[in-house]
Amino acid sequence: MKKAVELQQLEGYVYEITLSRPESANAFSHALMDDLNVCLDEVEASRDVRCVIIKGIGEKAFCAGADLKERQGMNNQQVIETVHRIGQCIKRVESLEIPTIASINGVAFGGGLELALACDIRIARDDTNMGLTETSLGIIPGAGGTQRLPRLVGIGKAKEMIYSAMRISSKEAANIGLVERVVSASELLEETRGLARLIAKNAPIALKQAKRAIDTGINTDKDTGLCIESLCYQQTIPTEDRLEGLNAFKEKRAPQYKGR
């Protein structure tokens, strides 16, 4: 039986998670969530991963959100439980210690955009659209969208997008800081993989501590954030990687980091 999510290890300590339900626009079915959790288990257990790419299969959709056909047969409680499960899957992505990149290869609506928001960096095709469109269906974003989008683009813009259920182009998304890069469809995969390889060649402990300092500090005042940064910095001092970085710089060669 074909998996709804596939995990591939690329060269250079990069893993790629692919949502693989093109017939349903890569929507969040229970089967997809089952497979996604298995992939995340493997990523969390691996010592050979330093950056993760999340993408959708095909050219139509990154992820269209919840599987509304599957939801039609659910009662109210089942809907609540399913939305909670989607939120937990997305939270697992956000909680990964290593950097993550969303490669937005097609439309990203509802839970699909919420998944992208949980990644550290977003790169999108220049001819696609995205939005939190839930209010047009009589609901609201329920997997983190009302919390992550305002933190990324500001409260006013987030309210405008959520209240209106508007769908914005990837170019507009770049203008408001929702995505970091916009590239052509033919360039998207290599652009994403190239950035992932650039990230993954750096010291893995340093990457984890940098992510921790940013994600933890951003939700505090500046002075507290500076204390968090200092504590995270201190974690890199006793590592072999720090000494390797200094020696490589001195010897004018590329460092060979081991994550120790």
**Of 114, 144, 145, 173, catalytic:** 114
Is 114 catalytic? The answer is: yes
**Of 118, 124, 134, 206, catalytic:** 134
**Of 65, 87, 110, 111, catalytic:** 111
**Of 66, 116, 118, 200, catalytic:** 66
Is 134 catalytic? The answer is: yes
Is 111 catalytic? The answer is: yes
**119 CB contacts (<8 Å, ≥6 apart)?**
54, 93, 94, 100, 101, 102
Q: Kindly calculate the radius of gyration of the chain based on its CA atoms and give it in whole angstroms.
A: 19
Catalytic residues: 66, 111, 114, 134
